[in-house]
Structure 1
Amino acid sequence: MPSISCPSPVRFRRTQRQHSFSTSSLSYNRYSGKFVPAFHSTTVSVSNQSDAMKFSTVISSVALTSLLQPALAYPGMANVVSEIKARQNTNNDGDSNPEMIGDLATTGPTTPVGQSIYNILMGTESAETKQAGYIPPLIGTNACKRDTCCIWAYIAAELTLNFKGITGRCNKNARAAIRLGFHDAGTWSKSSNGGGADGSIALSGTEINKAENNGLQDIIGKMITWQKRYGVGMADLIQFAAIHAVVTCPLGPRIRFFVGRKDSKTANDVSLLPGVNDSADKLIALFQDKTITPHELAALLGAHTTSQQFFVDTTRAGAPQDSTPGVWDTRFYNQTTSDQVPKKVFRFASDVVLAKDPRMSDEWAAFADPVKGQNHWNEDYATAYTRLSLLGVNNINNLTECSKVLPWAQPKFPDAWNLFLDQ
């Protein structure tokens, strides 16, 4: 069973003039979630009690960042080569002439990052990442402040603790973060040309009170706490959490992450979000107005593989949309169309009608394939979600890629057969 190195929780002692923090290394087993002692130690000194308390949190975060580091198990150069090859592969599944969004639609790609995102949207570059080996500078230092990605490594460590359940599955916080990413970004459309991934769902003070956003209050409270703690943009934080939550789920893809969105406190139009009782025609038209094709919509709907409903039918609050709500698998695609569905599974009417619609049914069946479906869906979801996460973002060329801070994916999960575990 693979393990990775991780420092232990911090111990600190107070002297008259300084505080010292010592850490000893542990080996962290990603499946059992347990720490095993190792032999490395480190000491950091700070000048006063206030700084000491700050660094207590800091060192704990540094310790946890090694949870994210796949480099220990993945050769760096081979990784780079394989990723370059993957990014050269076309994966648009027949979607011709995909629409551009944001400044890519007006100026085109003018920077390397803009070109990469353009390629992803065109289906000629992978939206998944195997970037690894990043070790951030100590938080609060000038080196960390100069490195855009540094702070995100510490955020990633905290999200891992909050999103992974006791059985190794993704938990309710992860599920809520995924839904939150959809609801913040999904308020943009070509017709309105407003809203989108701007953090307004958490910053406006009113958007969260809409019925469409019921159940997201708790995760938004956490987002506000994390934003204050780390000083990052809310729009970026929401999308990072959604991407992080997906890869925290066993079998989930490791989607590339770009930082630099602009925040807004102006409430967006929640009527642009889909309804669970909408017709296939209405839903497909709604998403096409967001530049999202039926093929991409089929991939995005798969996020219901880890969802649970609480408000559509309150008598069945907590009912999942497939039998493995803690695993990012393709059971959702099978169980949405099956004549025999586990009694505990709750199917949204909108999912059922879309699965049968001829504009989506072939892709739906492809995702349900027991052999090729998982990889196919992960690839398509990563591409479609990259598009969704950048709706309403008009400075795409100025973004910075920080994919390297994400935790490593779990392409295998031996306990996946254990049904109805959600944490």
Structure 2
Amino acid sequence: MHLSTILTTTVALASVPGVLGHPGMGKALGEIMSRQADEGDSTELLGDLVTLKDKDLTNVGKDIKKLLTGKGNPESNEKYTKVPPKNSAACKADTCCIWSYIAKDMYGFMAGQSGRCTKWARFAVRMGFHDAAGWSKSTASQGNGADGSIILSKSELDRSENNGLQEMGARFQQMYDNYRGQGWDIGMADLIQMGANVATVTCPLGPRIKTYVGRRDSATPAPDNLLPDVNADADSLIALFRDKTIGPHGLVALVGAHTTSQQMFVNESRAGDPQDSTPGVWDVKFYPETTGKAPARVFRFPSDIKLSQHPTTKKEWKEFSGGGGQNHWNEDYAREYIRLSLLGVNNINKLTECTKVLPPTTKKFSPSDQRKVEKWLNNTDRKGKAAKIAENLLAGDLVVDEVPATASPTAPAAVTPAA
């Protein structure tokens, strides 16, 4: 739940004369707020923070502990001024310096000509999720989580749930080998999570998430069956994520990353179709277009529909869909992604914050080709110009071609799966 919602409730009750002075009211209000927080929010500590005492926490450890317990700001606009030259002694002495160069390289292939983010940005977000989510409380003794194993294991990436990530894996492997070959001791786990956060802020309207480096790598593949299935029911998804310390509200925030997506493998006959009307843009249209009307080409995952209708999650889904939904979602997503990116990490107190290396945010976005995109969204042709437009959007390029704004009579209609 958005922190401001709880605060608004508290202020409103406090403004009623005598309310907090009524016997037991203060305790009752505390219990109500506790239930609100526990109902669907993620507040469990992770890794070494579970056992460390406050007096033993570093500044980073203290900050992350606040973020994990629903406090503090998960976003940051801190800038990196006067970045040392790449091969200088000053750069080698500053942990974040080389990550500034890595982030710049990533931005180069994640930012599209149109201002939208490219397929590489979307792959990177998915890669970050799939590496980190290979952890649960039930399997914690086996390790894994955000450890780079999705690439380092040489087998995890070939699993069916990772279809479409092989190109990204090869690209990250090349970056990893390149920088390590130059003498930089970077980790694959950090490279993957840095990539996810660079990607998120590169997509227009995306949050600038606090970003940390210093994770330990592992080549041991994650256990099977820890990633969500697109056909899963809501109860199964909620249980799966609770086992990762992520509550229902956090789950609703995280699935919103589908807003930038163009699905390729769930239904290959509709490869390239987006999951909302603004692929490559980090907006909240995914939420109302999953539950309500959407253009014919929008592709909805059955699991998303079911989650949007579940009693535990539909209120949060609706809040993201309404006024103020963008800021609400950005904050919630940022907080939950920080949690996700630290699953299985047992040296959190020793991490270094390098948020300052991320690109700046894009607060407003109005693409010049939107009219052409809207026509394409309402046309279900799969070949010719329609296929070219899908490729343009994947590449982040401006759409040049136009298709009729009505679907071809012979084309398959977009079908909304039953909940």
Structure 2 distance, partners of 1:417, 1:366, is: 29
Q: Deviations over 1:321-343 (max 9, x none)?
A: 111111000000010001x2211
Q: Deviations over 1:378-409 (max 9, x none)?
A: 00000000000000000000000001111100
1:223 to 161, 172, 189: 172
Q: Within 5 A, what are the aligned runs for 1:254-265? A: 254-265=208-219
Relative to structure 1, the CA distance from residue 361 to residue 403 in structure 2 (aligned partners, 3 Å threshold; closer, same or farther) is same
Report how far residue 317 of structure 1 moved.
1.0
Where structure 1 has 5 or more consecutive residues not aligned to the other structure, the ranges are 1-85
Q: Does 1:186 align with 2:128?
A: no
- The amino acid across from 1:385 in the alignment is Y
Q: Does 1:155 align with 2:102?
A: yes
SS where residue 232 of structure 2 aligns? coil
Relative to structure 1, the CA distance from residue 417 to residue 354 in structure 2 (aligned partners, 3 Å threshold; closer, same or farther) is farther
2:75 to 128, 134, 158: 128
- The amino acid across from 2:165 in the alignment is L
2:276 to 311, 322, 347: 322
1:103 to 35, 44, 48: 48
Relative to structure 1, the CA distance from residue 108 to residue 90 in structure 2 (aligned partners, 3 Å threshold; closer, same or farther) is farther
Structure 1 distance, partners of 2:7, 2:66, is: 9
Report how far residue 137 of structure 1 moved.
0.8
2:225 to 266, 271, 277: 271
Report how far residue 134 of structure 1 moved.
2.4
Relative to structure 1, the CA distance from residue 364 to residue 108 in structure 2 (aligned partners, 3 Å threshold; closer, same or farther) is farther
Q: Does 1:203 align with 2:189?
A: no
Structure 2 distance, partners of 1:322, 1:106, is: 42
Structure 1 distance, partners of 2:187, 2:81, is: 22
Moved more, 214-223 or 408-417: 408-417
Residue 303 of structure 2: aligned partner: 350
Residue 299 of structure 1: aligned partner: 253
Structure 2 distance, partners of 1:203, 1:133, is: 30
Q: Does 1:392 align with 2:344?
A: yes
TM-score normalised by the chain length of structure 2: 0.77
**Count of equivalent residues:** 334
- The amino acid across from 1:95 in the alignment is A
Residue 167 of structure 1: aligned partner: 114
Report how far residue 307 of structure 1 moved.
1.3
Relative to structure 1, the CA distance from residue 417 to residue 349 in structure 2 (aligned partners, 3 Å threshold; closer, same or farther) is farther
Structure 2 distance, partners of 1:216, 1:132, is: 31
- The amino acid across from 2:341 in the alignment is S
Report how far residue 90 of structure 1 moved.
7.8
More strand by share: 1
Q: Does 1:212 align with 2:161?
A: yes
Q: Does 1:286 align with 2:240?
A: yes
Report how far residue 107 of structure 1 moved.
1.8
SS where residue 295 of structure 2 aligns? coil
Q: Does 1:408 align with 2:360?
A: yes
Structure 2 distance, partners of 1:223, 1:152, is: 14
Q: Deviations over 1:215-235 (max 9, x none)?
A: 100001110111112231000
SS where residue 267 of structure 1 aligns? coil
Structure 2 distance, partners of 1:316, 1:395, is: 43
Residue 74 of structure 1: aligned partner: none
Residue 196 of structure 2: aligned partner: 242
Relative to structure 1, the CA distance from residue 349 to residue 366 in structure 2 (aligned partners, 3 Å threshold; closer, same or farther) is same
- The amino acid across from 1:141 in the alignment is S
Structure 2 distance, partners of 1:246, 1:165, is: 13
- The amino acid across from 1:99 in the alignment is E
Residue 333 of structure 2: aligned partner: 381
- The amino acid across from 2:310 in the alignment is D
RMSD of Structure 2 on Structure 1 (CA): 1.9
Report how far residue 212 of structure 1 moved.
0.8
- The amino acid across from 2:316 in the alignment is E
Structure 2 distance, partners of 1:384, 1:99, is: 12
Report how far residue 414 of structure 1 moved.
2.2
